[in-house]
Amino acid sequence: MHLHILGICGTFMGSLALLARELGHTVSGSDANVYPPMSTQLEEAGISLCEGYSADNLVPRPDRVVIGNALSRGNPEVEAVLDLGLPYVSGPQWLAEAVLPGRRVIAVAGTHGKTTTASMTAWLLESAGLSPGFLIGGVPRNFGVSARLGAHDAPFVVEADEYDTAFFDKRSKFVHYRPEIAVLGNLEFDHADIFDDLAAIERQFHHLVRTVPGRGRLLVADGEPALDRVLAMGAWTPVARFGSAAESPWRLELERDDASRFRVIHQEGEGAGSVDEDAVVDWPLTGAYNARNGLAALAAAHACGVDLARGAAALARFETPRRRQELRGEVAGIQVIDDFAHHPTAIAATLEGLRAATARGRLLAVIEPRSNTMRLGTLRDRLAASVAAADAAFWYQPPGLDWSLAPLLEASPVPARLEQDLEALVAALVEEARPLDRIVVMSNGGFGGIHDKLIAALEVAHG
């Protein structure tokens, strides 16, 4: 079968393309925004890619078109699909029909940390010899690809997004997956372009909870009021909490301030039949939020039979996914780090984690507010405070952002600078940076290739 995928360079749709190719389908696709790592991954897989949307991309005529949620009516290729009467389907529905039947699905949901937690979970299962399948909205470096089928009888880990499914299906993506194990990591207001308020997102999360069978497991973070409200709507599946609360059956205790070493305590039940075990994770990651992600992954893998000690040892060999605190290069002792953070909470958590691990030198934050929520300015009042852990902040005003970032400079808790030109931003960073500094670049897009441009400019200045 020839599948043609619209929006193929999106993290979800690109992963879907890899699964379709592995199933033996002929796969092509089109997208208007083509940048690594997804574009590179697709090219390496030999998947034909059309840049831009056009009716011509539908020649030869595909057997089925998979339409991403970034596409809407008025798009020339969408209009051609409808006019030609081509069979079409959303990405989540195709996944549910073609890949997930008969699999033990682990769905990882939450506003932040889904990609990292899903990657950790897949790695723990892999390290235990289970050969899991997975679809992750990023490229886990332990695997080198963002999706694979895995063994037919092995668990399948999917990053479960609450964003809507397609222009013709406004349900959240994750209601399609019917997981046996659902991880609910956190919940905040986001996606202001489709949700009116946090209550609307809580309702969607409850739709996910409704799909988990009674024989399954809900792994839910403690200390999350929004998730408490979700469960208060009803839960028909055993719930296990994880976090730092004393009563949670899965909890962690930091043994280093930067969270590079922490103890996991698992207590299940009471009396003679209770489970009481613990293990220490000593790993290269930092940040309390990463430790919490690791705790969730350990609990999910444990539900699939991976013992705690083995899982803790495997986390020591875990490598963060591409674009999650990924070191892109180092010049004269100056590190350039790429991170996907684009929500104030994620920005703050990333910087706090890096700050705890930065013994010498300064931490310079470079931020492009690019997501739909950021473009609407919904969370603008929280942005200035989000960089408090940095030594300086460099804000980039991207084209199409219809509100000014200038007020962030006045409210900034650290020295801040605003640039509207990418080359000027690179020049300012090169002028400011000195040996032992760490420059962390945060965006959920390609950011105009700033990472390579910055590394090249640093080499010229310090070579």
Q: Which CATH class is domain 2-90?
A: alpha beta
> Please, which pLDDT band fits residue 461 given cuts at 50, 70 and 90?
confident
- DSSP H or E run through 274: none
> Please, which pLDDT band fits residue 35 given cuts at 50, 70 and 90?
low
The per-residue pLDDT of the chain, averaged, comes to: 88
pLDDT at 387: 87
Q: Is 320 among the annotated ligand-binding positions?
A: no
Q: Is 266 among the annotated ligand-binding positions?
A: no
Range ranked top by mean pLDDT from 3-17, 92-106, 335-349, 424-438: 92-106
CA distance 93 to 164: 12
Q: Is 114 among the annotated ligand-binding positions?
A: yes
Decide whether 2-90 matches 326-462 in CATH topology: no
Q: What is the mean pLDDT of residues 215-227?
A: 96
What does the block give as tokens for 212?
């988990």
CA distance 301 to 306: 5
- DSSP H or E run through 182: strand 181-184
Q: Is 358 among the annotated ligand-binding positions?
A: no
CA distance 86 to 64: 7
Look up the CATH number of domain 326-462.
3.90.190.20
Domain locations in the chain as residue ranges = 2-90, 100-315, 326-462
- Give per-residue pLDDT as tens, 183-193: 999 888 776 67
Q: Is 211 among the annotated ligand-binding positions?
A: no
Range ranked top by mean pLDDT from 75-79, 371-375, 386-390: 75-79
Q: Is 26 among the annotated ligand-binding positions?
A: no
CA distance 182 to 238: 11
Q: What is the mean pLDDT of residues 69-89?
A: 96
Could you tell me which of 105, 136, 296 has the C-alpha nearest to residue 211?
105
> Is a pLDDT exceeding 70 seen at residue 321?
no
Q: What is the mean pLDDT of residues 337-355?
A: 80
pLDDT at 374: 64
> Is a pLDDT exceeding 70 seen at residue 307?
yes
At 66, which amino acid appears? V
Q: Is 165 among the annotated ligand-binding positions?
A: no
The topology (CATH level 3) of 100-315 is UDP-N-acetylmuramoyl-L-alanine:D-glutamate ligase (3.40.1190)
CA distance 67 to 28: 12
- Half-sphere exposure (Cβ direction) of 422: Cα atoms closer than 13 Å: 13
CA distance 48 to 28: 5
- Give per-residue pLDDT as tens, 44-63: 888 888 889 999 999 999 99
8 A C-beta contact, residue 47 and residue 29: yes
Percent of the residues in the chain that have a pLDDT greater than 70, as a whole number: 93
- Give per-residue pLDDT as tens, 242-290: 999 999 999 999 998 888 899 999 987 654 446 688 999 999 888 888 9
Could you tell me which of 424, 422, 339, 426 has the C-alpha nearest to residue 387?
339
Tell me 70's DSSP state. T
At 204, which amino acid appears? Q
